[in-house]
Amino acid sequence: MNILVLTPDRVGSSLLQRVLTVYMNNSNDVPKPVVNVHELCNGLEEYYSDEYDETLLADGGEDNRWQTLLDIKERLSKVPHHSIVCRLAHYHILRRNDPVHEQMNLYDYLNENFFIIGCRRKSIFEYALSWGIISSSKRLNAYTPQQKFDHWSSPYKNPISIPKENLIKSLDAYDAYIKWADTYFHINKYYTYEDDMPNIESFVHTLECFNNINLPKWEDIYGMNFQDWNKCHRLVSDIGLTQETKYIEDSSSYEKSLPSTIVDVIERLPLSEQKFVIENQENYFKSHKDIQQMVDDKILVQGIPIKLQTLIEKKLMIKNFNECAIIYNEWAEQKGYDVIKDNDEIIQQATSELKHWYQEIPNNLLSDK
Protein backbone atom coordinates (compact mmCIF):
# COMPACT_ATOMS: atom_id res chain seq x y z
CA MET A 1 0.00 0.00 0.00
CA ASN A 2 1.62 3.20 -1.20
CA ILE A 3 0.50 6.76 -0.44
CA LEU A 4 1.52 9.91 -2.31
CA VAL A 5 0.90 13.40 -0.94
CA LEU A 6 0.83 16.25 -3.47
CA THR A 7 1.88 19.62 -2.06
CA PRO A 8 3.00 23.19 -2.74
CA ASP A 9 4.44 23.16 0.84
CA ARG A 10 3.04 25.17 3.79
CA VAL A 11 -0.14 23.05 3.68
CA GLY A 12 0.65 20.45 6.37
CA SER A 13 2.04 17.80 4.02
CA SER A 14 5.03 16.87 6.22
CA LEU A 15 2.79 16.40 9.26
CA LEU A 16 0.40 14.26 7.22
CA GLN A 17 3.19 12.04 5.86
CA ARG A 18 4.73 11.38 9.25
CA VAL A 19 1.42 10.68 10.96
CA LEU A 20 0.36 8.27 8.20
CA THR A 21 3.66 6.42 8.55
CA VAL A 22 3.28 6.07 12.33
CA TYR A 23 -0.28 4.77 12.08
CA MET A 24 0.57 2.28 9.32
CA ASN A 25 3.66 0.92 11.09
CA ASN A 26 1.57 0.32 14.21
CA SER A 27 -1.22 -1.56 12.41
CA ASN A 28 -1.22 -5.35 12.47
CA ASP A 29 -2.99 -5.34 9.10
CA VAL A 30 -0.33 -3.40 7.17
CA PRO A 31 2.79 -5.31 6.02
CA LYS A 32 6.01 -3.90 7.51
CA PRO A 33 7.92 -1.85 7.09
CA VAL A 34 6.15 1.27 5.91
CA VAL A 35 8.82 3.77 4.89
CA ASN A 36 8.43 7.54 4.60
CA VAL A 37 10.93 8.64 1.94
CA HIS A 38 9.61 12.23 2.03
CA GLU A 39 10.22 14.06 -1.28
CA LEU A 40 10.52 11.97 -4.45
CA CYS A 41 12.40 14.76 -6.24
CA ASN A 42 15.23 14.31 -3.72
CA GLY A 43 15.90 10.93 -5.29
CA LEU A 44 15.87 7.55 -3.56
CA GLU A 45 18.57 5.54 -1.82
CA GLU A 46 18.50 1.74 -1.90
CA TYR A 47 20.00 -0.06 1.09
CA TYR A 48 19.88 -3.48 2.70
CA SER A 49 18.19 -3.58 6.10
CA ASP A 50 19.45 -6.23 8.51
CA GLU A 51 16.40 -5.67 10.71
CA TYR A 52 13.92 -6.41 7.90
CA ASP A 53 16.23 -8.68 5.88
CA GLU A 54 15.41 -6.96 2.59
CA THR A 55 16.29 -4.01 0.40
CA LEU A 56 14.52 -0.82 1.43
CA LEU A 57 14.25 2.70 0.10
CA ALA A 58 15.15 5.91 1.90
CA ASP A 59 15.28 9.62 1.09
CA GLY A 60 18.13 10.10 -1.35
CA GLY A 61 19.74 13.12 0.28
CA GLU A 62 22.29 15.32 -1.45
CA ASP A 63 24.02 12.44 -3.27
CA ASN A 64 20.88 11.34 -5.13
CA ARG A 65 19.02 14.64 -5.58
CA TRP A 66 19.57 14.74 -9.32
CA GLN A 67 18.49 11.22 -10.15
CA THR A 68 16.39 11.20 -13.29
CA LEU A 69 12.66 10.70 -12.90
CA LEU A 70 13.12 7.39 -14.73
CA ASP A 71 15.64 6.29 -12.07
CA ILE A 72 13.21 7.29 -9.32
CA LYS A 73 10.39 5.33 -10.95
CA GLU A 74 12.59 2.26 -11.40
CA ARG A 75 13.68 2.30 -7.78
CA LEU A 76 10.07 2.56 -6.65
CA SER A 77 9.07 -0.40 -8.81
CA LYS A 78 12.07 -2.57 -7.82
CA VAL A 79 11.19 -2.58 -4.12
CA PRO A 80 7.59 -3.86 -4.03
CA HIS A 81 7.70 -5.68 -0.70
CA HIS A 82 7.15 -2.72 1.58
CA SER A 83 4.88 0.30 1.51
CA ILE A 84 6.01 3.83 0.65
CA VAL A 85 4.63 7.10 2.00
CA CYS A 86 6.00 10.07 0.10
CA ARG A 87 5.24 13.46 -1.34
CA LEU A 88 5.73 15.28 -4.61
CA ALA A 89 6.10 19.06 -4.41
CA HIS A 90 5.23 21.06 -7.50
CA TYR A 91 7.97 23.64 -7.04
CA HIS A 92 10.59 20.87 -6.86
CA ILE A 93 9.36 19.51 -10.18
CA LEU A 94 9.63 22.99 -11.68
CA ARG A 95 13.19 23.44 -10.40
CA ARG A 96 14.28 20.13 -11.94
CA ASN A 97 12.98 21.08 -15.40
CA ASP A 98 12.75 17.43 -16.51
CA PRO A 99 11.51 16.67 -20.03
CA VAL A 100 7.72 16.53 -20.19
CA HIS A 101 7.64 12.91 -21.38
CA GLU A 102 9.70 11.85 -18.32
CA GLN A 103 7.34 13.72 -16.02
CA MET A 104 4.32 12.06 -17.62
CA ASN A 105 5.95 8.64 -17.31
CA LEU A 106 6.40 9.13 -13.56
CA TYR A 107 2.92 10.60 -13.10
CA ASP A 108 1.34 7.62 -14.87
CA TYR A 109 3.23 5.21 -12.61
CA LEU A 110 2.18 7.10 -9.47
CA ASN A 111 -1.45 7.23 -10.59
CA GLU A 112 -1.48 3.46 -11.07
CA ASN A 113 0.38 2.46 -7.92
CA PHE A 114 -0.35 5.05 -5.21
CA PHE A 115 -3.32 6.30 -3.23
CA ILE A 116 -3.04 10.03 -3.90
CA ILE A 117 -3.89 12.83 -1.46
CA GLY A 118 -4.00 16.40 -2.72
CA CYS A 119 -3.25 19.08 -0.11
CA ARG A 120 -5.15 22.37 -0.07
CA ARG A 121 -5.50 25.55 1.99
CA LYS A 122 -8.74 27.43 2.61
CA SER A 123 -6.76 30.55 3.48
CA ILE A 124 -4.42 31.06 0.55
CA PHE A 125 -3.62 34.43 2.13
CA GLU A 126 -2.14 32.73 5.19
CA TYR A 127 -0.34 30.24 2.95
CA ALA A 128 1.43 33.14 1.22
CA LEU A 129 2.27 34.76 4.57
CA SER A 130 3.95 31.52 5.65
CA TRP A 131 6.22 31.63 2.62
CA GLY A 132 7.00 35.28 3.41
CA ILE A 133 8.16 34.33 6.91
CA ILE A 134 10.32 31.55 5.48
CA SER A 135 12.29 34.18 3.56
CA SER A 136 13.44 35.39 6.98
CA SER A 137 13.95 32.07 8.78
CA LYS A 138 15.38 30.17 5.77
CA ARG A 139 13.77 27.01 7.19
CA LEU A 140 10.58 25.14 6.25
CA ASN A 141 9.91 23.20 9.45
CA ALA A 142 10.98 22.67 13.05
CA TYR A 143 11.04 19.19 14.56
CA THR A 144 12.32 20.04 18.03
CA PRO A 145 11.72 23.00 20.36
CA GLN A 146 15.36 24.02 20.02
CA GLN A 147 15.06 24.22 16.23
CA LYS A 148 12.04 26.46 16.60
CA PHE A 149 13.86 28.67 19.14
CA ASP A 150 16.94 28.93 16.90
CA HIS A 151 15.25 29.67 13.58
CA TRP A 152 11.98 31.46 14.36
CA SER A 153 12.68 33.67 17.38
CA SER A 154 13.97 36.62 15.37
CA PRO A 155 10.74 37.73 13.59
CA TYR A 156 8.94 37.89 16.95
CA LYS A 157 11.49 40.43 18.16
CA ASN A 158 12.10 42.15 14.83
CA PRO A 159 8.96 42.01 12.65
CA ILE A 160 9.52 41.67 8.91
CA SER A 161 7.93 43.17 5.81
CA ILE A 162 6.92 40.97 2.88
CA PRO A 163 7.59 42.63 -0.50
CA LYS A 164 4.60 42.71 -2.84
CA GLU A 165 6.40 40.76 -5.54
CA ASN A 166 7.27 37.97 -3.07
CA LEU A 167 3.68 37.69 -1.90
CA ILE A 168 2.33 37.54 -5.46
CA LYS A 169 4.98 34.98 -6.41
CA SER A 170 3.77 32.68 -3.59
CA LEU A 171 0.12 33.19 -4.55
CA ASP A 172 0.83 32.42 -8.20
CA ALA A 173 2.75 29.32 -7.15
CA TYR A 174 -0.28 28.02 -5.26
CA ASP A 175 -2.53 28.63 -8.26
CA ALA A 176 -0.06 26.80 -10.54
CA TYR A 177 0.11 23.89 -8.08
CA ILE A 178 -3.69 23.46 -8.11
CA LYS A 179 -3.74 23.35 -11.91
CA TRP A 180 -0.82 20.90 -12.03
CA ALA A 181 -2.27 18.54 -9.42
CA ASP A 182 -5.74 18.46 -10.96
CA THR A 183 -4.39 18.07 -14.51
CA TYR A 184 -1.93 15.23 -14.06
CA PHE A 185 -3.12 13.19 -11.08
CA HIS A 186 -6.11 11.05 -10.15
CA ILE A 187 -6.54 12.47 -6.67
CA ASN A 188 -8.30 10.04 -4.32
CA LYS A 189 -8.74 12.42 -1.39
CA TYR A 190 -8.27 16.12 -0.68
CA TYR A 191 -6.65 17.26 2.57
CA THR A 192 -7.68 20.79 3.48
CA TYR A 193 -5.40 22.04 6.22
CA GLU A 194 -7.88 24.22 8.11
CA ASP A 195 -10.55 21.49 8.19
CA ASP A 196 -8.52 18.28 8.39
CA MET A 197 -5.44 19.09 10.47
CA PRO A 198 -7.46 19.65 13.69
CA ASN A 199 -9.14 16.26 13.08
CA ILE A 200 -6.25 14.46 11.43
CA GLU A 201 -6.88 11.12 13.15
CA SER A 202 -10.42 11.03 11.77
CA PHE A 203 -9.10 12.05 8.35
CA VAL A 204 -6.56 9.22 8.30
CA HIS A 205 -8.93 6.57 9.63
CA THR A 206 -11.58 7.36 7.01
CA LEU A 207 -9.27 7.18 3.98
CA GLU A 208 -10.67 4.69 1.48
CA CYS A 209 -7.32 2.87 1.23
CA PHE A 210 -7.84 1.77 4.86
CA ASN A 211 -11.42 0.50 4.41
CA ASN A 212 -10.47 -3.09 5.22
CA ILE A 213 -7.61 -2.30 7.57
CA ASN A 214 -7.70 -1.86 11.32
CA LEU A 215 -5.61 1.20 12.17
CA PRO A 216 -4.88 1.91 15.83
CA LYS A 217 -5.70 5.23 17.39
CA TRP A 218 -2.88 7.50 18.52
CA GLU A 219 -3.97 6.88 22.10
CA ASP A 220 -3.51 3.12 21.58
CA ILE A 221 0.08 3.78 20.53
CA TYR A 222 1.18 6.59 22.84
CA GLY A 223 -1.40 6.81 25.63
CA MET A 224 -2.90 10.15 24.54
CA ASN A 225 -5.01 11.22 21.59
CA PHE A 226 -3.32 12.99 18.70
CA GLN A 227 -4.94 16.35 19.33
CA ASP A 228 -3.53 16.43 22.88
CA TRP A 229 -0.18 15.10 21.67
CA ASN A 230 0.10 17.77 18.99
CA LYS A 231 -0.96 20.46 21.45
CA CYS A 232 1.87 19.44 23.80
CA HIS A 233 4.21 19.42 20.79
CA ARG A 234 3.40 23.08 20.20
CA LEU A 235 3.14 24.29 23.80
CA VAL A 236 6.65 23.19 24.83
CA SER A 237 8.03 25.38 22.03
CA ASP A 238 5.53 28.25 22.23
CA ILE A 239 7.86 31.22 21.73
CA GLY A 240 5.05 33.59 20.77
CA LEU A 241 4.20 34.50 24.36
CA THR A 242 5.57 37.57 26.10
CA GLN A 243 3.53 37.53 29.29
CA GLU A 244 4.98 36.29 32.56
CA THR A 245 2.82 33.78 34.43
CA LYS A 246 3.47 32.40 37.90
CA TYR A 247 4.53 28.79 37.52
CA ILE A 248 2.32 26.26 39.26
CA GLU A 249 3.84 24.30 42.12
CA ASP A 250 4.30 20.95 40.36
CA SER A 251 7.36 22.03 38.39
CA SER A 252 10.10 19.78 39.73
CA SER A 253 9.63 17.09 37.09
CA TYR A 254 10.34 19.60 34.32
CA GLU A 255 13.33 21.19 35.98
CA LYS A 256 15.00 17.82 36.45
CA SER A 257 14.57 16.51 32.91
CA LEU A 258 14.11 19.33 30.40
CA PRO A 259 16.40 21.96 28.88
CA SER A 260 16.11 25.36 30.55
CA THR A 261 14.74 26.91 27.34
CA ILE A 262 11.71 24.58 27.39
CA VAL A 263 11.15 25.13 31.11
CA ASP A 264 11.22 28.88 30.48
CA VAL A 265 8.60 28.55 27.73
CA ILE A 266 6.30 26.45 29.90
CA GLU A 267 6.56 28.92 32.76
CA ARG A 268 5.13 31.65 30.51
CA LEU A 269 2.11 29.61 29.44
CA PRO A 270 -1.29 30.37 30.95
CA LEU A 271 -1.82 28.29 34.09
CA SER A 272 -4.37 26.01 32.42
CA GLU A 273 -1.86 25.16 29.68
CA GLN A 274 0.92 24.53 32.20
CA LYS A 275 -1.37 22.10 33.97
CA PHE A 276 -2.23 20.43 30.67
CA VAL A 277 1.45 19.85 29.85
CA ILE A 278 2.15 18.45 33.32
CA GLU A 279 -0.75 16.01 33.05
CA ASN A 280 0.45 14.73 29.68
CA GLN A 281 4.22 15.07 29.92
CA GLU A 282 5.03 11.42 30.65
CA ASN A 283 3.23 10.01 27.60
CA TYR A 284 4.30 12.90 25.39
CA PHE A 285 8.02 12.67 26.11
CA LYS A 286 8.03 8.86 26.03
CA SER A 287 6.54 8.94 22.54
CA HIS A 288 9.58 10.84 21.27
CA LYS A 289 11.83 7.87 21.95
CA ASP A 290 9.70 5.67 19.71
CA ILE A 291 9.45 8.29 16.97
CA GLN A 292 13.19 8.98 17.12
CA GLN A 293 13.84 5.24 16.78
CA MET A 294 11.78 5.27 13.59
CA VAL A 295 14.02 8.09 12.33
CA ASP A 296 17.15 6.15 13.30
CA ASP A 297 15.78 3.10 11.47
CA LYS A 298 15.12 5.22 8.35
CA ILE A 299 11.40 4.56 8.58
CA LEU A 300 10.89 8.31 9.03
CA VAL A 301 13.09 10.97 7.42
CA GLN A 302 12.42 13.39 10.30
CA GLY A 303 10.18 13.50 13.34
CA ILE A 304 6.76 15.13 13.38
CA PRO A 305 6.92 18.88 12.62
CA ILE A 306 5.82 21.44 15.21
CA LYS A 307 3.08 23.94 14.44
CA LEU A 308 5.07 27.12 13.80
CA GLN A 309 2.80 30.17 13.95
CA THR A 310 -0.89 30.83 14.34
CA LEU A 311 -2.48 33.53 12.18
CA ILE A 312 -2.33 35.99 15.11
CA GLU A 313 1.38 35.32 15.49
CA LYS A 314 1.89 35.92 11.77
CA LYS A 315 0.10 39.24 12.21
CA LEU A 316 2.48 40.15 15.04
CA MET A 317 5.52 39.14 12.98
CA ILE A 318 4.64 40.95 9.75
CA LYS A 319 4.84 44.75 9.79
CA ASN A 320 2.91 45.23 6.56
CA PHE A 321 0.19 42.65 7.34
CA ASN A 322 -2.68 44.97 6.32
CA GLU A 323 -0.94 45.87 3.07
CA CYS A 324 -0.49 42.15 2.36
CA ALA A 325 -4.23 41.62 2.82
CA ILE A 326 -4.97 44.34 0.24
CA ILE A 327 -2.49 42.82 -2.21
CA TYR A 328 -4.03 39.39 -1.67
CA ASN A 329 -7.56 40.67 -2.35
CA GLU A 330 -6.47 42.28 -5.62
CA TRP A 331 -4.86 39.00 -6.69
CA ALA A 332 -7.84 36.88 -5.54
CA GLU A 333 -10.32 38.97 -7.50
CA GLN A 334 -8.25 38.51 -10.66
CA LYS A 335 -7.76 34.76 -10.16
CA GLY A 336 -11.24 33.88 -8.90
CA TYR A 337 -10.36 32.98 -5.30
CA ASP A 338 -12.27 34.08 -2.19
CA VAL A 339 -11.43 37.58 -1.00
CA ILE A 340 -11.10 38.72 2.61
CA LYS A 341 -14.28 40.67 3.39
CA ASP A 342 -12.99 42.78 6.26
CA ASN A 343 -10.76 42.81 9.33
CA ASP A 344 -13.44 41.05 11.39
CA GLU A 345 -13.13 38.01 9.14
CA ILE A 346 -9.42 37.76 9.94
CA ILE A 347 -10.04 38.23 13.67
CA GLN A 348 -12.75 35.56 13.69
CA GLN A 349 -10.53 33.08 11.85
CA ALA A 350 -7.58 33.83 14.13
CA THR A 351 -9.61 33.53 17.35
CA SER A 352 -11.13 30.23 16.22
CA GLU A 353 -7.64 28.88 15.58
CA LEU A 354 -6.40 29.98 19.01
CA LYS A 355 -9.24 28.08 20.69
CA HIS A 356 -7.86 24.90 19.13
CA TRP A 357 -4.48 25.40 20.79
CA TYR A 358 -5.36 27.02 24.14
CA GLN A 359 -7.94 26.44 26.85
CA GLU A 360 -7.08 29.92 28.11
CA ILE A 361 -6.01 32.22 25.27
CA PRO A 362 -2.89 34.20 26.28
CA ASN A 363 -3.52 37.90 26.88
CA ASN A 364 -1.02 39.18 24.34
CA LEU A 365 -2.63 37.09 21.58
CA LEU A 366 -6.24 37.74 22.55
CA SER A 367 -5.75 41.50 22.72
CA ASP A 368 -4.26 41.80 19.25
CA LYS A 369 -6.83 43.31 16.88
Residue-wise pLDDT for 151-177, tens only, equals 888 888 899 999 999 999 999 999 999
Q: Is 21 exposed, middle or buried (0-12, 13-18, 19+ CB in 10 A)?
A: buried
Distance CA 307, CA 155 (A): 16
Tell me, what's the pLDDT at 366?
64
DSSP-derived pairing of the beta strands 44-49 and 54-59? antiparallel
By mean pLDDT, which of 31-40, 237-246, 348-357 is the weakest? 237-246
Distance CA 72, CA 331 (A): 37
By mean pLDDT, which of 200-214, 232-246, 267-281 is the weakest? 232-246
Partners of residue 10 on adjacent β-strands? none
Distance CA 205, CA 46 (A): 30
Q: What are phi and psi of 34, to 5 degrees?
A: -110, 120
- Please give the DSSP secondary-structure letter assigned to residue 318: B
CATH number for the domain formed by residue range(s) 3-223+293-306 = 3.40.50
> Do you find a cis peptide bond into 362, omega within 30 degrees of 0?
no
Distance CA 238, CA 233 (A): 9
DSSP-derived pairing of the beta strands 189-192 and 115-120? parallel
Distance CA 281, CA 275 (A): 10
Contact 141, 234 (CB under 8 A): no
Confidence of residue 328 (pLDDT cuts 50, 70, 90): very high
Tell me, what's the pLDDT at 334?
97
- 68: number of Cβ within 10 Å: 14
Confidence of residue 315 (pLDDT cuts 50, 70, 90): very high
